[in-house]
Amino acid sequence: MRLKQLSFVIALANTLIIGCSMDLATGDVVTRPRVVGVRTVIENDATRAWPRAGENVSLQWSTVSDTAVEWSSSMIACVAAASNFGIPSCEGGPFAIQPPTPLSPMSPQFDFTTPADLREGADILVLGILCGNGMATLNMDDNNLYVCEGEQSQREVVLFRLSTEADGRTNRHPSWEGQAFTLDGQPWAAPPEDLPNTGCADTPSSENIPHVQLQDEETPSVFGFTTNPADQETFEELILGETVMYVPTEEELTISHLGDAGRFRRSSTVVFDADSANNSVEWNHPDPEETTIPSDGLTVRFWWPIRDERGGFDRTERALCLIP
Amino acid sequence: MARNLIFWVTTSLIWGIAVFVSAQEADSTEESSEAAVTTTPPTLQTFVDAEYDPELLEPGDQIEVILTLTIDAEGQVSNAEVFQSGGEPFDTAAVTAGQQLIFSPARRGEETIAARIRFRYTFANEPAPTENTSTAAETGENESPATPPEPTTGRIVGRVLSQDDTPLVGAQVFLDAVSSDANIELTTNEEGQFETGEIDAGRYLLTVIQTGYVSLDTEEEVSGGEELALTYRLEAQEDDASLSAGAEFGAVTTVERLAREATRRTIPRELLTNIAGTRGDALRVVELLPGVARPAFGSGALYIRGSAPGDSEVFVDGTSVPLLYHFGGLTSFYNSRLLERLDFYPGNFSVRFGRKIGGILEVEPRDPATDQPHGVVDVNLLDAYLVVETPLWEGASLAIAARRSYVDFFFAEVIPDDVFDVVAAPVYYDYQLIFTWRPTDQDRIRVLGYGSGDEFRTIFNNDDIPQPFGLEISTQFHRLQASWEHTFSEDLKQTLMISGGWTGLLIQVGETFGFDAEFVPLQMRNEWEIALHERVDLTLGLDWQYIPTTLSFRGGTPGQTEGQPDTTGQETRTAVDFEGRAYRPGVYLESNMRPTDWLQVVLGMRLDYYRDIQDWTFDPRFSIRFMPTTQWTIRGGFGVFSQPPEFRESAPGLGNPDLEPVTALHSTAGFQYRHDETWRFSIDGYYKHIYNRIVGTQGGVAPFFVNDGVGRIYGMEVAGRIDPTPGFPVSGLLSYTLSRSERQDRDDQWRLFDFDQTHIFSLSLVWQIGDGWQAGGTFRLISGNPYTPVTSAIYDARANVYQPIYGTVNSERNPLYHRLDLRIEKVFEIDIVRLAVYVDVQNVYNMRTREALTYSFDYTDTAEVQGLPIFPSLGIRGEL
């Protein structure tokens, strides 16, 4: 949370100032192919979020989209230079380069090996581009990684600062495994992969997702979810000051709320202690004047990225069939 | 209206955060909000020396060993490891000693917790220097409305000369007050001089009689607090007695108090409180003076000649104050009814003022009325105030004023329930007390007490936000000061001023950001004015500051804010608890030489010491004024100005204790033409160069701040003024500034200052219609502030935010700002009571100028942040 609180205050002030003149997108509604996170997969131990020197790492980018999309990507990895502000930069040249990958419906992935002589405590910086429905290009001579070919392509320039294990500091991914999801108090299971976008009311594969009658804005659906208190690891947080110190701190888990229709009451939930592991968020149904709801139903997808704000990441999905 | 109010208050708070963080000192109050849990580092309780053989070190050698200590929740060192080796046997000695250290344990809130810290052992044959440094200074704030009561006292200092400038000794000078029975008889001394001492303000019939000369009859007006300098030239009584005195320059030459500064702007009190758009607040007129940029909406910051707000200072009778305006910048902290004069020095100011490289605003309180009790009550939509003043005994008088806003009474009612929970709605208050006693003709003792407070607390606690958190902003300051002015003789005068007070600032945003600072500024100024010769005055002064400071900071990594749009991406937290004392003695010497009647040369020098950074500065300054006629003045100045770092820049852990003072060179040249008593006009050009500017380090890494910046500011100021004059119904101010303010950070390219405004134009007119009616208008036309465009954005997968990618810093500019304010007032005279009803409307045509841009979550869409909408203020004022 932390710095996001200040961002919220500023955003609130802006909202009050701007009034109703303009609604700026807050990110909870998915209207284009987007990247919503990355999971670090370390060879031989998929639960660890931070690699050590000389280990094989696979960065699996988590993408969402309201339509079918094919991805191409290109990445570099380098040792991050010391920085406290703005966009981090490399300390020297990249130690791993991923040339542009061919278009694929699979989410992009970047495999590399961390340098064997990696300085203890150093962070790895990954910079790159993900192109939806377009080819990524890599032109190291121009130092320009940020081009997607194709007029219809969707461009996402990304960075990821990956901490490494050192001095006993480790991190493990949070996990949705075993956690309960509810829709208006009823258990809510993950959807099958072959869900159609429309006609869910009559499609057999949609029988396992909840069917919900369209409601007005005054009657939101309530999504409940739990988190695993064990995922809130205790770590030694670096605190700068006249006395630089490391203090034991419990991780806060941030769950993003994303859907391809309707509006969430808030775009994320922060779980800051085990007592608040049972959470809920309201979801307002889409306005029929803005979103066409077919008579045979509209499939609405929801994505639930969870992160520990230290690089640990997991994601799950839910869906419902909205009946007009 | 409710929405206007909400955004006004909220943006004020948000702007306030930015301003407070970037400004110097401020003020605070209570405990932070309940959502805040602060982490406090362990503090050393028992130190243990590392034992070693000193013969292992050569003289001058110094070896450091840095340990990593794990300190348990009891404060005991549970583990000590070498983090940075100094070699054996020093490592072992350090570890052995480190294991025996005892700390007060780290805390998270009230809970003691374990912590790991780095601890340095230094082995030397001399004690290693360790130091805690701090700096502190102040910014200001204040408020007020309405036309003041009749002036109280002033003085006339005059000379009687013959046509060939020979002083006329023994001339008789008679003054008869027009509105009372008071009369004064004086005789000129060996220099042909006379002085009335303090006399009641008002109009006087003045007669000068000298044997052998044609007597002179004239009428003079004495304004409260003003020293009227007059020169009369009498015609010898020869054969033709019809010649009048001083025909060449007019029978009487009225001269303002001679300025020592190259540029000083003094606004007459009658004009101060009648300007439209100020709600009758005299201090807000400062915004209309040449050289003053328009502040960001609601911030109330003072940008003088392209300088940052922290580079300028506001003084009340010689004492610096931390803030100028209450929340939102609509009201200043000092009641205009108790104001004698505002002196504004946009640059090249006297050595009397130090430790600043920008400009100076000096607020001169007036003495309370000595004739009879007076009272004023003013009630308007935002606040109400009361002023009471009365004579106490012969030579002594007292004034008390207080003001309070009442936005809090209805704030909670007008905001939507689902926005946030208001714990304490926005409220501001201020008060003033002035006691003046003149026990003898040679002494004046004045005691001032004044203070100001602003507070707002709320808790964001609804389903719209990921986690409840509190927001609290509180600023307060209080001052008590006493001054003693004693005239030993015509050639020696001493002024002693001592002040003390308390200033605090609290800004708390959940756990994200906490800034809690308290200052106890003690100031002393002792000044001797010595007349060495009839044409040479010398001023010697001591200017002493001692500011104990406590500071608690919790937030992201500190760094540069001005010219630095890219402050995102901070993840590491900073926790600093700091106690320090800024001890800053200064001494100054200034000579004011008038070798001829048409030339004035002022040479000054100032020496300052800053114990917090253990540094000295020496500032020589020079100004010159040619007065070829009584109407024309050509003026210029050059000088060195120094300023210590702000406390946040040099506090250990938060900034860099090794910073040096910032230095600026000021140069200015211009002229003033004074057509008559009513109107005048001036043009001044200036150039400032700033060295040793304090900027953030590359990447914002420790030590966070360095003296690697420079700046250059140049421009031209045009000022016109029509003073209130009997028989002429219009008065007003004209101001135009053409300027450019640039900065260079480290080795980066030159860029515009965040508040560079190329064109700043304003015209204010006040029309005395008659029958108690008065109307006025103020029009402003000002360049928009520069801003840094966002060219694209990059998704930070760890933080799950899009980080903006910025273009060239301050390479684009907001649209031109323009606004019209109107004010209408009607005064009813009912027996001895004056009742005034007024309407002051700001931004009459509701121009919604863009102040900034705000962005969608991925920076693909923008919306405008707009400034003040139409803002009417209706009020009623009663005067006794």
pLDDT over threshold 70, residue B128: no
| Angstrom distance (rounded) from CA B713 to CA B306 | 6
Contact (Cβ atoms closer than 8 angstroms) between residue A261 and residue A321: no
Q: Please name the helix (run of DSSP H) or strand (run of DSSP E) that holds residue B86, with its range, or none.
A: none
Contact (Cβ atoms closer than 8 angstroms) between residue B205 and residue B182: no
What pLDDT is stored for residue B181 in this prediction?
60
**Lowest mean pLDDT across A77-91, B108-122, B404-418, B821-835:** B404-418
- Chain A residues in contact with B564 (beta carbon < 8 A): 85
pLDDT over threshold 50, residue B844: yes
- pLDDT confidence tier of residue B583, bands split at 50, 70 and 90: very high
Cβ atoms within 10 Å of B458's Cβ, excluding its own:
25
pLDDT over threshold 80, residue B236: no
Contact (Cβ atoms closer than 8 angstroms) between residue B654 and residue B704: yes
Cβ atoms within 10 Å of A96's Cβ, excluding its own:
17
What backbone phi and psi angles, to 5 degrees, belong to B361? Answer: -120, 120
What pLDDT is stored for residue B284 in this prediction?
85
Residue A152, class by beta-carbon neighbours within 10 Å (0-12 exposed, 13-18 middle, 19+ buried)? exposed
- pLDDT confidence tier of residue B417, bands split at 50, 70 and 90: low
- pLDDT confidence tier of residue B879, bands split at 50, 70 and 90: confident
Specify which residues B770 forms β-bridges with.
Answer: B773
What pLDDT is stored for residue B431 in this prediction?
97
What pLDDT is stored for residue A1 in this prediction?
38
- Averaged pLDDT, B40-57: 82
The percentage of residues in chain B with a pLDDT greater than 90, rounded to a whole number, is 43
| Angstrom distance (rounded) from CA A139 to CA A157 | 14
What residue in B sits closest to A163 (Cα-Cα)? B798
pLDDT over threshold 90, residue A317: yes
| Angstrom distance (rounded) from CA B21 to CA B15 | 10
pLDDT over threshold 50, residue B268: yes
Residue B673, class by beta-carbon neighbours within 10 Å (0-12 exposed, 13-18 middle, 19+ buried)? middle
| Angstrom distance (rounded) from CA A67 to CA A43 | 32
What one-character-per-residue DSSP string does A246-303 give?
Answer: EEEEE--EEEE-EESSSEESSSEEEE-SGGG-EEEEEEEPPPTTTS---TT-EEEEEE
Residue whose tokens read 């943006």: B11
Q: Of chain B residues 581-620, which have a CB less than 8 A from chain A?
A: none
- Chain A residues in contact with B798 (beta carbon < 8 A): 160-162, 307, 309-311
Tell me, yes or no, if B855 comes closer than 8 A to chain A by beta carbon. Answer: yes
| Angstrom distance (rounded) from CA A316 to CA A181 | 10
- Averaged pLDDT, B573-593: 91
Residue whose tokens read 């760094």: B559
Q: Nearest C-alpha of chain A: how many angstroms from B298?
A: 12
Query: What is the per-residue pLDDT across A230-244, written as a single tens digit (0 to 9) for each?
Result: 999 998 888 877 777
3-state helix, strand, coil in chain B (%, to 5): 10, 55, 35
Contact A84 B701 (CB under 8 A): yes
Of the candidates B466, B702, B794, the beta carbon closest to that of A270 is on B466
Cβ within 8 Å of residue B506, ≥6 positions away: B28, B29, B30, B32, B472, B473, B474, B475, B515, B516, B517
| Residue positions counted in chain B | 880
- Averaged pLDDT, B815-829: 93
| Angstrom distance (rounded) from CA B344 to CA B325 | 16
Contact B14 A3 (CB under 8 A): no
Residue whose tokens read 């046509």: B163
Alpha-helical runs (H) found in B376-493: 407-414
**Lowest mean pLDDT across A93-102, B435-444, B605-614, B673-682:** B673-682
Cβ within 8 Å of residue A276, ≥6 positions away: none
What pLDDT is stored for residue B136 in this prediction?
28
Tell me, yes or no, if B11 comes closer than 8 A to chain A by beta carbon. Answer: yes
What pLDDT is stored for residue B425 in this prediction?
67
What one-character-per-residue DSSP string does B424-450 give?
Answer: EEEEEEEEEEEEEE-SSTTEEEEEEEE
- pLDDT confidence tier of residue B422, bands split at 50, 70 and 90: low
What pLDDT is stored for residue B174 in this prediction?
78
Contact (Cβ atoms closer than 8 angstroms) between residue B635 and residue B651: no
pLDDT over threshold 80, residue A33: yes
Number of helical H runs and strand E runs in chain B: 5, 54
**Integer CA distances (angstroms), B869 to B4, B88, B213, B820, B849, in order:** 7, 71, 64, 11, 9
C-alpha torsion angle, residues B749, B750, B753, B758 (rounded to 10): -130
Q: How far is CA B79 from the centre of its chain?
A: 51
Q: Comparing C-alpha atoms, which of B760, B748, B687, B732 is closest to residue B823?
A: B732
Contact B39 A247 (CB under 8 A): yes
As given in the structure block, the two tokens for residue A309 are 């704000």
What pLDDT is stored for residue B184 in this prediction?
78
Which carries the bigger pLDDT value, residue B559 or residue A112? A112
The percentage of residues in chain A with a pLDDT greater than 70, rounded to a whole number, is 90
Contact A84 B794 (CB under 8 A): no
Which carries the bigger pLDDT value, residue B105 or residue B478? B478
What pLDDT is stored for residue B449 in this prediction?
97
Contact B858 A242 (CB under 8 A): no
| Angstrom distance (rounded) from CA B73 to CA B87 | 31
- pLDDT confidence tier of residue B513, bands split at 50, 70 and 90: confident
**Integer CA distances (angstroms), B262 to B23, B313, B581, B633, in order:** 27, 18, 34, 10
Alpha-helical runs (H) found in chain A: 3-18
As given in the structure block, the two tokens for residue B266 are 């003094």
- Averaged pLDDT, B66-87: 86
Contact B510 A17 (CB under 8 A): no
pLDDT over threshold 80, residue B424: no
- Chain B residues in contact with A246 (beta carbon < 8 A): 115-117
**Lowest mean pLDDT across A26-30, A225-229, B51-55, B514-518:** B51-55
pLDDT over threshold 50, residue B593: yes
Specify which residues B755 forms β-bridges with.
Answer: none
What backbone phi and psi angles, to 5 degrees, belong to B371? Answer: -85, -45
pLDDT over threshold 50, residue B241: no
Torsion B49-B50-B53-B59 (CA) sign:
negative
- Averaged pLDDT, A250-258: 93
As given in the structure block, the two tokens for residue B208 are 């000068």
| Angstrom distance (rounded) from CA B711 to CA B741 | 8
Q: Are strands B790-796 and A154-162 parallel, antiparallel or unpaired?
A: parallel
Contact A84 B557 (CB under 8 A): yes
Query: What is the per-residue pLDDT across A50-91, written as a single tens digit (0 to 9) for each?
Result: 999 999 999 999 999 988 899 999 999 999 998 877 788 899
| Residue positions counted in chain A | 324
Q: Comparing C-alpha atoms, which of A6, A38, A8, A22 is closest to residue A315?
A: A38
Which carries the bigger pLDDT value, residue A254 or residue B556? A254
- The distance between the two most distant Cα atoms of chain B, rounded to a whole number of Å, is 108
**Integer CA distances (angstroms), B696 to B203, B317, B709, in order:** 58, 35, 9
**Integer CA distances (angstroms), B826 to A243, B106, B270, B409, B730, in order:** 63, 64, 16, 29, 16
What pLDDT is stored for residue B130 in this prediction?
35
- pLDDT confidence tier of residue A20, bands split at 50, 70 and 90: very low
The percentage of residues in chain B with a pLDDT greater than 70, rounded to a whole number, is 83
- Averaged pLDDT, B558-573: 76
Residue type, B811: S
Contact A24 B805 (CB under 8 A): no
What pLDDT is stored for residue B567 in this prediction?
66
What pLDDT is stored for residue A275 in this prediction?
65
Q: What is residue B723's three-state secondary structure?
A: coil
Contact (Cβ atoms closer than 8 angstroms) between residue B672 and residue B718: no
Residue type, B82: V
What pLDDT is stored for residue B569 in this prediction?
55
Cβ atoms within 10 Å of B375's Cβ, excluding its own:
14
- Averaged pLDDT, B39-67: 81
Q: How far is CA B816 from the centre of its chain?
A: 27
Mean pLDDT of chain B: 82
| Angstrom distance (rounded) from CA B484 to CA A13 | 48
Specify which residues B735 forms β-bridges with.
Answer: B719, B762
Q: What is residue B680's three-state secondary structure?
A: strand
Q: What is residue B89's three-state secondary structure?
A: coil
pLDDT over threshold 70, residue B97: yes
Query: What is the per-residue pLDDT across B712-765, written as a single tens digit (0 to 9) for each?
Result: 999 999 999 998 887 889 999 999 999 999 999 998 999 999 999 999 999 999
Contact B568 A85 (CB under 8 A): yes
**Lowest mean pLDDT across A3-12, A133-142, B251-260, B443-452:** B251-260
- Averaged pLDDT, B257-272: 61
- Residue of B5, B798, B862 to mutate for A, most A C-beta atoms under 10 A: B798
Q: What is residue B275's three-state secondary structure?
A: coil
| Angstrom distance (rounded) from CA B116 to CA B569 | 25
- Averaged pLDDT, B121-139: 47
Query: What is the per-residue pLDDT across B791-820, written as a single tens digit (0 to 9) for each?
Result: 989 999 999 999 998 999 999 999 999 999
- Residue of A24, A85, A162 to mutate for B, most B C-beta atoms under 10 A: A85
- The distance between the two most distant Cα atoms of chain A, rounded to a whole number of Å, is 66
Specify which residues B537 forms β-bridges with.
Answer: B531, B592
| Angstrom distance (rounded) from CA B880 to CA B878 | 7
Q: Nearest C-alpha of chain A: how many angstroms from B131?
A: 11
